[in-house]
């Protein structure tokens, strides 16, 4: 096979997924990661005797990973152990009540009955409603590159295309959830799932109610040893299949001639390639990689061939609202906290105000919802015998003028510690190690658009169609994977984006 060199930008899950598939298909693949180790936002940090996952903390749709290993000729079980989590999450509500959510149907119904007896039947109806959305949309929206018109014109997809009204695209997540549940605590619980792809439940389309079905209908899992073990496993498979992985290798520019890519510039060196699979944020790539601000006169002359198309593409991507960002506290704590589960959510008292401050005003919320993941509950080796490793995440706005993140770190730390103390977790004097991340750090570490964690938000009814495609419309030979492009953010969807991009490259090469 001639002309089969692929340069992969970034070492995130989408890029790794695509690189493995392309290598298995016979392409010569080089992967370049700007950081010292691969994984993108799925990372790990060790602070003295405490170990932390710093990205995703819950795995859904594990069959996506299994399929990739099968495709590459490996058995996933030889590399990774998936452990069902029960409860999936422990919820703490503003009124002091608590509830354990479970993928076990009887346990979940019992928990809801104890919290709000009148809503048990509502949950059954809601889960059937969410399952219907899943059945109608999964194949076409999660497993198909919907921007490829020829792929949409398959007879089996007509059923979905002609029944779009049944996927509830015209109501918001909050409006639809409120139709089912009478208890505001359950409304808040199911509103939360819009944040899984970085969106506002009061703006995002109710089609996103597919997400709770994926969690409660299909289950939630933990990877033994930590979520970063997935990166280790994918790296091992990639190297076994011949992928050349270079770390501390920053791609500075995507090279092109006559509207076709011909390589990448890495640490000042030009690497020739017939195709480029970009796992970096697509919005950032269109702004900084195709033509950088400090481009040389020669590179600018080459870029002029892109003409007005490049400017139009920039304007198009600028219209896409970035997703939620976050503030993360990694705390190694002395002492055990049996009242907390592996995953915990401490809800704010006014969810609407929280998201209005985040998205409308781009300001740090006065009272953020607090998410706490403690992997030492499942892996004792992640903390000392008498300690726990707390990953604490707060919803935050993407980067905007006027924000003062150094001050906000101090303020939010005090807000979180005070809220935890109110719940009986007086931990201020028990923190042995600490590391803090803000949206500025996410932008710097992962080149994410304005510090967004999940790529592009879904705060409009047409976002699914506006999300950037896996194939560039500007440059031939340029393809995209990752949370900023179709089908979206989260471990399984990001890995599916890599599959879509690799499949398109293989089809185009033939």
| Three-state DSSP class for residue 213 | helix
CA distance 65 to 71: 10
What pLDDT does 112 receive? 98
- Segments making up each domain of the chain, as ranges: 5-40+228-320+461-509, 121-217, 324-446
Query: Is the model's pLDDT at 444 over the cut of 80?
Result: yes
Q: Mean pLDDT across the stretch 105-134? A: 97
Burial label, 79 (beta-carbon count in 10 A; 0-12, 13-18, 19+): middle
Q: Mean pLDDT across the stretch 451-472? A: 84
What pLDDT does 141 receive? 74
pLDDT tier for residue 339 given thresholds of 50, 70 and 90 = very high
Query: Is the model's pLDDT at 299 over the cut of 60?
Result: no
What pLDDT does 153 receive? 61
Residue whose entry in the numeric block shows the structure tokens 């950032």: 284
Query: Is the model's pLDDT at 399 over the cut of 70?
Result: yes
pLDDT tier for residue 320 given thresholds of 50, 70 and 90 = confident
Query: Is the model's pLDDT at 293 over the cut of 50?
Result: no
CA distance 104 to 217: 9
Q: 465 to each of 74, 146, 240, 469, how far by Cα in Å?
A: 34, 8, 36, 9
* Torsion angle, alpha carbons of 178, 181, 186, 192, to 10: -30
Higher pLDDT, 169 or 224: 224
Rounded to 10 deg, the angle between the 173-180 and 184-191 helix axes is: 140
Q: Mean pLDDT across the stretch 29-41? A: 97
Q: 224 to each of 229, 377, 382, how far by Cα in Å?
A: 8, 11, 11
The total number of residues shown for the chain amounts to 510
What pLDDT does 300 receive? 40
What pLDDT does 488 receive? 87
Q: Mean pLDDT across the stretch 100-115? A: 98
Query: Is the model's pLDDT at 304 over the cut of 80?
Result: no
pLDDT tens across 38-55, in order? 999 999 999 999 999 998
- Structure token pair of residue 139: 């194949």
Percent of the chain scoring above 70 in pLDDT: 89
Higher pLDDT, 224 or 310: 224
Query: Is the model's pLDDT at 59 over the cut of 50?
Result: yes
HEC string of 343-379? EEEECCCCHHHHHHHHHHCCCCCCCCCEEEECHHHCC
Higher pLDDT, 140 or 185: 185
pLDDT tens across 244-255, in order? 999 999 999 999
What pLDDT does 149 receive? 62
Q: Mean pLDDT across the stretch 382-392? A: 98
Percent of the chain scoring above 90 in pLDDT: 81
What pLDDT does 298 receive? 42
Q: Mean pLDDT across the stretch 330-341? A: 98
Query: Is the model's pLDDT at 362 over the cut of 90?
Result: yes
Using an 8 Å Cβ cutoff, are 379 and 386 in contact? no
Class level of CATH domain 121-217: mainly alpha
pLDDT tier for residue 256 given thresholds of 50, 70 and 90 = very high
Determine which of 41-50, 87-96, 447-456 has the lowest per-residue pLDDT on average.
447-456
Q: Mean pLDDT across the stretch 283-303? A: 61
Phi/psi at 329 (nearest 5 deg)?
-115, 120
Residues contacting 107, CB < 8 A, separation 6+: 86, 87, 100
pLDDT tier for residue 467 given thresholds of 50, 70 and 90 = confident
Using an 8 Å Cβ cutoff, are 108 and 115 in contact? no
- 99-133 in b/e form (b: 16+ CB < 10 A) is bbbbbbeeebbebbeebbeebbebbeebbebbbbb
Domain spanning 5-40+228-320+461-509 has what CATH number? 3.50.50.60
What pLDDT does 342 receive? 98
CA distance 384 to 51: 10
pLDDT tier for residue 315 given thresholds of 50, 70 and 90 = low
CA distance 52 to 373: 9
Query: Is the model's pLDDT at 303 over the cut of 80?
Result: no
pLDDT tier for residue 294 given thresholds of 50, 70 and 90 = very low
CA distance 210 to 104: 18
CA distance 73 to 57: 27
HEC string of 266-303? ECCEEEECCEEEECCCHHHHHHHHCCCCCCCHHHHHHH
- Structure token pair of residue 180: 């089912």
Q: Mean pLDDT across the stretch 493-503? A: 96
pTM over 0.85: yes
pLDDT tens across 149-197, in order? 666 666 666 666 666 667 888 999 999 999 999 999 999 999 999 999 8
Q: Mean pLDDT across the stretch 196-214? A: 94
Q: Mean pLDDT across the stretch 381-406? A: 98
What pLDDT does 297 receive? 39
What pLDDT does 159 receive? 65
Same fold, 5-40+228-320+461-509 and 121-217: no
Higher pLDDT, 443 or 141: 443
pLDDT tier for residue 309 given thresholds of 50, 70 and 90 = low
Q: Mean pLDDT across the stretch 110-133? A: 97
What pLDDT does 295 receive? 41
| Average pLDDT value over all residues in the chain | 91
């Amino acid at each position: 096979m001639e002309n089969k060199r692929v340069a992969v930008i970034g070492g995130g899950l989408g890029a790794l997924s695509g690189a493995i598939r392309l290598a298995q298909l016979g392409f010569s693949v080089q992967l370049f990661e700007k950081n010292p180790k691969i994984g993108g936002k799925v990372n790990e940090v060790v602070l003295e005797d405490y170990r932390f996952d710093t990205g995703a903390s819950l795995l859904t749709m594990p069959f996506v990973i299994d399929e990739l290993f099968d495709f590459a000729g490996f058995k996933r079980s030889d590399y990774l152990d998936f452990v069902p989590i029960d409860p999936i999450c422990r919820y703490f509500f503003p009124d002091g009540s608590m509830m354990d959510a479970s993928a076990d149907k009887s346990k979940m119904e019992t928990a809801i009955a104890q919290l709000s007896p009148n809503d048990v039947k509502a949950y059954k109806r809601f889960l059937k409603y969410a399952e219907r959305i899943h059945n109608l949309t999964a194949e076409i929206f999660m497993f198909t590159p919907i921007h490829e018109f020829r792929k949409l014109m398959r007879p089996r997809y007509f059923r979905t295309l002609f029944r779009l009204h049944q996927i509830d695209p015209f109501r918001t997540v909050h409006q639809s959830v409120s139709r089912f549940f009478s208890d505001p605590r359950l409304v808040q619980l199911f509103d939360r799932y819009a944040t899984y792809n970085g969106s506002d439940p009061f703006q995002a389309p109710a089609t996103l109610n597919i997400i709770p079905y994926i969690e409660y209908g299909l289950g939630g899992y933990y990877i033994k040893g930590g979520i970063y073990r997935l990166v280790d496993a994918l790296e091992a498979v990639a190297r076994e299949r011949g992928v050349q992985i270079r770390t501390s290798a920053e791609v500075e520019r995507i090279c092109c001639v006559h509207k076709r890519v011909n390589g990448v510039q890495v640490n000042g060196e030009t690497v020739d390639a017939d195709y480029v699979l970009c796992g970096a944020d697509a919005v950032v790539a269109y702004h900084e990689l195709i033509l950088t601000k400090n481009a040389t006169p020669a590179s600018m002359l080459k870029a002029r061939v892109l003409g007005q198309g490049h400017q139009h593409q920039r304007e198009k991507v600028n219209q896409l609202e970035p997703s939620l960002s976050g503030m993360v506290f990694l705390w190694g704590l002395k002492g055990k906290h049996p009242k907390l589960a592996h995953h915990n959510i401490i809800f704010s008292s006014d969810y609407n105000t929280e998201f209005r401050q985040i998205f409308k005003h781009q300001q740090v919320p006065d009272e953020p919802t607090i998410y706490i993941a403690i992997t030492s509950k499942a892996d004792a080796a992640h903390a000392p015998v008498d300690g726990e490793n707390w990953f604490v995440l707060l919803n935050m706005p993407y980067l905007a003028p006027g924000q003062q993140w150094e001050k906000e770190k101090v303020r939010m730390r005090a807000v979180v510690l005070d809220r935890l103390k109110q719940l009986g977790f007086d931990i201020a004097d028990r923190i042995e190690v600490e590391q803090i991340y803000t949206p500025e750090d996410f932008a710097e570490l992962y080149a994410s658009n304005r510090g967004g964690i999940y790529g592009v938000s879904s705060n409009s009814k047409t976002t699914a169609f506006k999300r950037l495609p896996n194939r560039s419309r500007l440059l031939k030979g340029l393809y995209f994977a990752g949370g900023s492009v179709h089908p979206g953010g989260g471990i399984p969807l990001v890995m599916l984006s890599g599959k879509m991009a690799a499949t398109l490259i293989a089809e185009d090469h033939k």
